[in-house]
Amino acid sequence: MEPATCEIARLPEELLSAALARTSPRDACRAAAVSPAFRDAADSDAVWACFLPRDLPPLADGELLHPATPPSKKDLFLRLSDHDNPLLLPDKLVSMWLDRETGAKCYMLSARDLTIIWGDTPQYWTWIPLPDSRFSECAQLLHVCWFDISGKIPCKMLSQDTVYAAYIVFKVNENSLGLDYPVQEASISVGVTSLTRKVCLEHNDEDEGEAGAVPGHYWPVRPHPPQRTRRRNRRAVRHGENVGRPQKRADGWMELELGEFFNEGGEDGEVSFSLMETKGGNWKSGLIVQGIEIRRKKSG
């Protein structure tokens, strides 16, 4: 091999690694393609140990397979940051993975880990297995008037100085009712601070109808204020601009953002999330809930 003539070759590998450790996982992977010397530095444990969080939660048995040779830190990071294959925590009700860009810890609280009002009453909610979920069960909504799902996670489980967002991960089947109107309220609270916004689980894209108008198929159980008009035709409801909408995920499920928060870290306490619709009094049905996902929110 010809002697290296470039100046950066003067730096011993550990100093190059020290510099790479201050970039990001993505940069370190790219750096490996620069030259063989860079690859040795970029793939070293010194670099990837810095990207791994200091405190990983304990995992369920068998989640991390241990081959004969222990994995390098880079392999470990790549395995932990595989969003398509999250790892289960020992209670098997929560799964976790690392955000590949930053190493921030992300979680999904399964439906069983959440507090679903009337969730244990079989006429209202049932629990069904679904093959495309990491968890053994999902909650299926049969009918309920009081729609109230909440969950929480200790702040300590999250990564410091990170902006997170919480999403409810769900599916809506064709026979759904009452999920498009009235809109639900999503809220997130950290300590004494709480933020609430309006969201809608079933947002129809059609433009017919006035924003916020009461649809014809809306039959509340309790009488509603008389000034609302009823329409004869069943129309799609178009909500105002500031109502959060669901997005389709790559894994085939839908997700709806409940809100975001900044986890400064170093605090005891929890972050709580909730999704509720308890004022309208109408029946809702046709929802399948996998859980609530908490992941790092990209800025901008």
Partner 1 sequence: MDSTADPKGKRPLYQEDGLAYARAAAAAASATAAAAPDEEEAKPKPKPSSSSEEAKPEPEAEDQAEMPPLVLVAEDGVEVSISRRAARMSHMLRLLMEDSCADGPIPAPNVHSDILDLVVQYCEKHGPYYDPEASERARNPFPPFPVELTPTVSSIKPVTYVDPDPHGLKDWDKDFISLDNSTLFEVILAANYLNIEDLLDLGTTTVADMMRGKKPEEIREIFEIENDYTPEQEAELRKENAWAFED
Judged by the rule CB under 8 A, the positions of this chain that interact with partner 1 are 1-2, 4-12, 15, 18-27, 29-36, 38-39, 49-54, 100-103, 161, 163, 188-191, 193-195, 197, 259-264, 299-300
Q: How far is the CB of 106 from partner 1 (least distance, A)?
A: 15
Q: How far is the CB of 4 from partner 1 (least distance, A)?
A: 7
What is d(CA 261, CA 244) in angstroms, rounded to the nearest whole number?
16
What is d(CA 262, CA 271) in angstroms, rounded to the nearest whole number?
10
Please name the helix (run of DSSP H) or strand (run of DSSP E) that holds residue 167, with its range, or none: strand 162-177
What is d(CA 160, CA 266) in angstroms, rounded to the nearest whole number?
7
Q: How far is the CB of 8 from partner 1 (least distance, A)?
A: 4
Q: How far is the CB of 87 from partner 1 (least distance, A)?
A: 18
Non-local CB neighbours of 108 within 8 Å, separated by 6+ positions: 86, 94, 95, 96, 134, 169, 290, 291, 292, 293, 294
Please name the helix (run of DSSP H) or strand (run of DSSP E) that holds residue 38, with its range, or none: helix 36-42
Among the listed residues 210, 157, 158, 156, the one whose alpha carbon sits nearest the alpha carbon of residue 181: 210
If the CB atoms of residues 56 and 142 are measured against partner 1, the closer one turns out to be 56
If the CB atoms of residues 48 and 124 are measured against partner 1, the closer one turns out to be 48
If the CB atoms of residues 202 and 257 are measured against partner 1, the closer one turns out to be 257
If the CB atoms of residues 75 and 137 are measured against partner 1, the closer one turns out to be 75
What is d(CA 268, CA 154) in angstroms, rounded to the nearest whole number?
7
Q: How far is the CB of 2 from partner 1 (least distance, A)?
A: 8
Q: Which two tokens stand for residue 110?
A: 């399964």
If the CB atoms of residues 182 and 259 are measured against partner 1, the closer one turns out to be 259
